[in-house]
Copies of this chain bind each other. A is one copy, B any other.
Amino acid sequence: MTEKEKMTIVVCSGELDKALAAFIIATTGASMGMDVTMFFTFWGLNILKKNEGGIQGKGFKQKMFSLLNRGGTKRLKLSRFHMLGLGTWMMKLVMKDSHYPSIDEFITMAKEMGVKLIPCSTTCGMFGLTENSFRGGVESLAGAAFFVNEARQSKVTLFI
């Protein structure tokens, strides 16, 4: 039996458009039989945070940062034309009209297709996040060495 080809995606951005691009590529790769790992770091962690998650972190500074940087799929903004929410809202309507999956549906699809969703332990440490901060179905935290090891075995590696 031959091993599956690997694809590894670092998701460092937390904007809705970048998140969609990442999940479109990841689910396409998985549907083509690739073994896909997504590694979430910095603002990318917001995509995996619980929508109803409260303030995270220990100590005043982490808590303040968490307040600014709530995260959750409902709070993702477009990287352009957010316009106090108007542009992002229109984009979601346009996607719905055209029957595109929402970002939540993409996350569910990715999970069902076996895509691994991994939060970066280094940035979780900085922001005071734990496995409890994230939605169900997310894998255990892992560090940069895990990512580099996946990437060096991958046919396709992207930084988004």
Contact = CB atoms under 8 A, between A and B. Distances in A.
Interface of A: 5, 7, 10, 12, 14, 17-18, 20-21, 24-25, 28-29, 31-32, 34, 41-43, 59, 61-62, 64-65, 68-69, 79-81, 83, 87, 90-91, 93-95, 97-98, 100, 122, 125-127, 143-145, 147-149, 151-152, 154-160
Copies of this chain in its oligomeric complex: 3
A151 B78 CA distance: 26
Given A17-B12, A80-B14, A159-B159, A64 B90 contact: yes
A1 to B, nearest CB: 19
Contacts of A151: 155-156
Given A80-B14, A122-B24, A156-B148, A93 B61 contact: yes
A72 to B, nearest CB: 15
